[in-house]
Amino acid sequence: MQIIKIAITSIILIAFWLGCGGDKEPPVVEITFPANGAMVGGTVTITAEAVDNKVVEKVELYIDNNLVSTLTSQPYAYSWNTTSLQDN
């Protein structure tokens, strides 16, 4: 089994919210799985939470600065196949 060590810094979630009514408060976004620095292998499901005082329109998931998924409804989850990646 291939094992990949990931850091939350290489996985970026961006939540977009509707600016209706002058909403100036950004959403709170958190990767809930895997944990920062976790060792993963094969296909791993990345999960996240995004909360806003109004509405979260979408959550974009970037891995190594590449957009890999745009999620528009909860639960925010993405299946990441790591089998083609080098161990590190």
Kindly write down the DSSP assignment for every residue of 2-16, as one continuous string. --EE--GGGEEEEEE
51 within a domain of the structure (yes/no): yes
User: Are the CB atoms for 86 and 58 separated by under 8 Å?
Assistant: no
Does residue 53 carry a pLDDT above 80?
yes
87 within a domain of the structure (yes/no): no
Average pLDDT, rounded, for the chain: 79
Q: Who wins on pLDDT, 80 or 15?
A: 80
Q: At 33, is the pLDDT very low, low, confident or very high (cuts 50, 70, 90)? A: very high
- pLDDT score recorded for residue 8: 44
88 within a domain of the structure (yes/no): no
Does residue 20 carry a pLDDT above 60?
no
Q: How many domains does the chain have?
A: 1
What is the pTM (predicted TM-score) of this model? 0.71
70 within a domain of the structure (yes/no): yes
- pLDDT score recorded for residue 63: 85
